[in-house]
Chain A
Amino acid sequence: MPECVKTMSQAEREIHLMTAQQQTTQTQVVNRAKELLADGTVARVLGWKAGELPYAPQPAYFEKEEDLEEFVYNGFCGANLSKYMIEASKLDGKTLVCLKPCDTYSFRQLMKEHRVDREKAYIIGVGCKGKLDIEKIKAQGIKGIQSIQGAERTDDADTLTIQTLYGERTCAYADVMLERCHVCKGKEHMIFDELIGESRDTKDRDRFAQVKEIEAMTPGERFAFFQKELSRCIRCNACRNVCPACSCRKCVFDSSQFDSAQKANADPFEEKMFHIIRAFHVAGRCTDCGECSRVCPQGIPLHLFNRKFIKDINEFYGEYQAGADLEPRGPLTSYVFEDVEPGIVAERG
């Protein structure tokens, strides 16, 4: 049962919902945020701001009511704002933060690790009906994008209409969703102070299908697969920096004492080392939010590493979803006497 702090009475809630039905989630969040800023409940709002391009909203802080005119919430707001809460927890006053259902797992996991301060957050659980991947839209040959209609998904509008310099194009919403939305964790928020907007479970794929496919390959094929994917890595560290679980104050790959430091990209080994260690360090804490794959400029399916660890953890130590509870111990910080021996890997073949 998700932790829920009800700030409104039941009647207030119903009225709120009734009037809200005609409004988009965006307008509702803005209105509510204005109220909370005005009455001093929160000192700032952490959400998304209209970006330079119609498909690129930007994570942003809003401190004044009038700034909220720029607030935007639509299908392109994929960014998981939980990580920004680490810094926001150090600021004075409460921060209103908009979290989608899957973002709340990250927030809870961070709470568990004492990296965010629950008291400093006022969480609006925003509805999510699947987020869009601009790379997939562009991969359909859509270029010169001027405007996009339908990025706010509704039950009767499941198509994006895109005006481009080269004519109007359309594409089905579900075809251009982020990979993580196809393996959606569900529409329930794990933690919130109030909820705004409806969510939809967009899961239509087996979360581990890709991992299983790779496992079925021969070692040589697996090696070739990862060699090919990782050869594109440019060591920009976007995957690490965006990851809510990667919250070390100083990363080992930033250490000047360490001779395989972050930015060399000198040998294929380095990329493997970086990505294995990155995924290993968040194993058991990774909520599978998919931000690493979303931000990778080279389109490397980085989530495969994390998901392999999750799949193994599920198989060896029982089903586990990071951020689903507040149990202090995770799979790598606990044990039972009967745990499998590492030899199982070789035995499995």
Chain B
Amino acid sequence: MSDEQILPTQLAGEGTAFPPGAPWQPFAPLPTVWEAPLRFTGEGGEYFRIWLVNTLLTLLTLGVYSPWAKVRKARWFWRNTQLDGVAFQYHGEPLAILRGRLLALVLLAAYSLSGHLARAVSLTILAALGALAPWLFLKSQRFKLANTSWRGLRFGFDSTVGSAYSAVLPGVLLWLGLAAAGGAALEHPALVAAVGLAFAFSVPGLHARLKGYQHGHARFGNVRFELDRCTGAFYGLYLKAAAAMLAVGVAGGAVVGLSMATRLREATGGPPWPVLVAGYLLVFLGYLVVGPFFAARAQQIVWPRTHGGPIRFATRIAAWPLLKLVVRSVLLTVLTLGLYWPYAAVALARYRIECVSLRSSAPLEVVAAAVPADPAATVGEGAMDLFGLDIGL
């Protein structure tokens, strides 16, 4: 194949884009319509080793090493992701993440300690966190994207603080309102129900808004991405998910209720806990089934509506394969006391990544150019991580 010219699509179709020792061929003139899937080259065994070694180092250092471990894992995932035969790169600085995590840890400790001692202090901290959440979200998005590159060009996240607040704050306020109302559940059930309903009705819209914010401010080099309106699609998705959850809840509740009724009729009753456990298990399995369906459909909504310059995205992610993968991952992870998790993480990443493909009416290398570098501040990433607010994708 020494004189053959390799088309990017052919190149990307091969398992490994870099056969060791093979000479690099100059690319052919690119077709006007260009299409390439994302490829994932990593294998579970290698990630298993990385995970074990880095977990041990994290334990030995009482957690101080964890940002380094996180960065190593992120580098492995990004560098094993290829588009058009070229790998992505992750540049996150462990020290920056450590700073963010320390700050988050201090806040968390202050919050949980004051929760036992001074309610007012803990509420103040909570309010401050809520007020800062949109800014933190902006920071974490910027950190993630500005530290990712492909073909020597960085991604980026261009957003003003104002648009971060307009996209994220409504959701935060509603969530805080729900939490506050939950505390008064016994005294004011009607109030709680009202806040709950308001929450339920606005969540799909807020989710769409958040996605629009995430995708709409991302860029690669100087190519800015956009997300077309998808509020209606999100309402449809949430409606279906809610119906499915309701069905599962009713089925689970019926099993539990039936066992209770049986026990009451028999007055003394044997130990009905296996039936109870079966009920809970049913509900858990319901979540397990509905979750992947939801995730797959959400991706189907978002990716085809994302575009930037001449570039469009597509995904062939489907609910059933994702569901099978998730069930398998959860089962094997639990059965192996967590040891299967690295393999599961790789299998899930491979599926999600390889479902996505790019289409462009002009070659990417012509489309994109660098914009002046912007050193990303990093409090956001660590803080988001520790508070479990990382929203992903």
**Are A and B genuine complex partners?**
no
- Which B residues contact A (CB, under 8 angstroms)? none
